A and B are shown apart, each in its own frame.
Chain A
């Protein structure tokens, strides 16, 4: 941790300001966003793109090196959670099963 509590507080404040500005401005200055069809189309891809960009390195780069093998417990547990989220549409179940799978795999797989 390199950040001081004051710096962290400023970062959180900045996060709050941009979030609020984004939520408020269309309500105040209406009509401009609807004129950007490309923007409207692009926004749909923001959640899949940003979330995947955060997920892939967590699963494929444990400890900073690429590991595509079946000996990578995070990759296996993550794939299982994705499968459950897809089949059941139950987020809490996917998280719970993925976590249990990680614990079991970490105990069973050789390091």
Chain B
């Protein structure tokens, strides 16, 4: 719903905002994409940033793949489209649980499909509600701020240890310092810088633990 409101305030026409929910079907990528479109970033930068934001799906896909080995290509092509954070979370939990039990269900892919379709429908419906409401909301309400707030609510639970906090803090500082860079390249630099700092702090922690 917030996505729908945000996409309109970023200047996307309602039809395109709605289409994005089925063409892309990835929550945070859509938020980031709509925000960058609103900021007038060039297409290449937007697609590249979406790519970085979605890199975690490589891990999801690799981790469900062993359970789908027996399926044909068509099944995989369908399930890949539905592989969001939420669908991955419920599906992998079920897969791991089922594999541990002696009477393993041969229909695990249907569970994946059901979870995916349920979330897909909910996402399309809530996008439509957001778009419908969005046109009636006055700009003075500063609804663009809901994007920053959504990102805050998403990022806080990921800050579970010192390396991830270091990654977040350094990426934020770089983003502020490099905000004036053209083509929003500061965002790319900040993301890469944050990831490198996170890796460095983690490596240092592991080394310190080994010395002890």
Contact = CB atoms under 8 A, between A and B. Distances in A.
Given A12-B24, A46-B195, A106 B155 contact: no
B168 interface: yes
Interface string B51-85: 11111111111101110110001001101110100
User: Which range contains the number of B residues in contact with the other chain?
Assistant: 35 or more
A76 B129 CA distance: 29
B190 A11 contact: no
B157 A89 contact: yes
A102 B149 CA distance: 11
B103 to A, nearest CB: 26
Nearest to B193: A49
Contacts of B60: 23
Given A43-B59, A46-B195, A49-B195, 8 more contacts: A1-B11, A22-B58, A26-B62, A50-B191, A52-B155, A85-B153, A94-B149, A95-B149
CB-based closest 6 A-B pairs: A49-B194, A56-B172, A45-B198, A53-B190, A91-B153, A16-B23
5 contacts: A22-B58, A26-B61, A46-B52, A47-B155, A54-B148
